């Protein structure tokens, strides 16, 4: 898909640009893609990477898997984490992004801090590890997986993989429902 911005826009851009990103796969992909577009930008580019853990004023620990979980009124709290992304870093990130695009994999994941192409079934072990004994609701399984493994993978992705497990006869539908997440399933 072509960028709605011309290459000239990014190379001539003299305004400061701040990127907000995390290790959530979609946010990391966006960070790499936009750095690829900004590699020739003449303006200052900086980034704020969401930390995995933050303590609040009451010294309680908050865990985030993506910026969508941060209350909008609290974004200013992360401004001290801002660091410059140098032109050399942007070029290096752009090269990594071009390599990932050439791989044309069905899925990308952040593994040990590195964005990489992975097979479609990469997260299936997480699903299998949380399948309870007996009957269970699809929504409950997905919620448990997401709560226990805060890695920024969407509920939609888990639902698609669980549907593949149903088709592969690894799981079976006990009670169907027009709303997928309301299905009752069990392990075969």
The pLDDT tens digits for 60-70 are: 998 899 999 99
Q: Which of 63, 98, 118 is the last residue of a domain?
A: 118
Domain that holds residue 164: 124-187
Residue 4 above 90 pLDDT? Answer: no
What integer is the mean pLDDT of 169-184?
A: 95
What integer is the mean pLDDT of 98-120?
A: 95
pTM listed for this prediction: 0.85
pLDDT of residue 15: 80
Q: Do 67 and 103 reside in the same domain of the chain?
A: yes
Q: Which of 118, 138, 166 is the last residue of a domain?
A: 118
Instruction: Tell me, yes or no, whether 1 lies in a domain.
Output: no
Beta strand spans in the chain (E): 17-21, 45-49, 53-55, 61-63, 83-84, 107-111, 114-118, 136-137, 171-175, 184-187
Q: Which of 118, 153, 171 is the last residue of a domain?
A: 118
Q: Do 24 and 106 reside in the same domain of the chain?
A: yes
* Number of structural domains in the chain: 2
Q: Do 53 and 101 reside in the same domain of the chain?
A: yes
pLDDT of residue 9: 62
Q: Do 44 and 108 reside in the same domain of the chain?
A: yes
Tell me the HSE value of 133 on the side-chain side, using a 13 A CA sphere: 0
63 vs 70: CA distance, rounded Å? 10
Neighbours of 60 (CB within 10 A): 8
Q: Do 110 and 156 reside in the same domain of the chain?
A: no
- 184-187 and 17-21: which strand pairing? unpaired
Q: Do 35 and 104 reside in the same domain of the chain?
A: yes
The pLDDT tens digits for 107-116 are: 999 999 999 9
């Amino acid at each position: 898909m072509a960028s709605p911005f011309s290459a000239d826009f990014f190379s001539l851009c003299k305004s400061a640009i701040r990127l907000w990103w995390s290790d959530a796969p979609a946010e990391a992909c966006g960070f790499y893609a936009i750095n690829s577009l900004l590699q020739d930008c003449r303006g200052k580019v900086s980034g704020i990477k969401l930390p995995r853990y933050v303590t609040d004023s009451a010294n309680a620990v908050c865990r985030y898997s993506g910026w969508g979980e941060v209350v909008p009124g609290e974004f200013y709290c992360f401004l001290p984490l801002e660091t410059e992304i140098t032109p050399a870093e942007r070029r290096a990130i752009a090269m990594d992004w071009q390599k990932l695009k050439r791989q044309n994999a069905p899925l990308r994941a952040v593994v040990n801090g590195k964005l990489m192409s992975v097979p479609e079934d990469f997260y299936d072990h997480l699903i299998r590890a949380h399948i309870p004994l007996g009957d269970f609701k699809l929504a409950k399984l997905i919620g448990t997986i997401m709560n226990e493994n805060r890695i920024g993978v969407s509920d939609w992705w888990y639902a698609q993989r669980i549907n593949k497990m149903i088709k592969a006869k690894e799981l079976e539908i006990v009670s169907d429902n027009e709303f997928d997440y309301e299905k009752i399933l069990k392990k075969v």
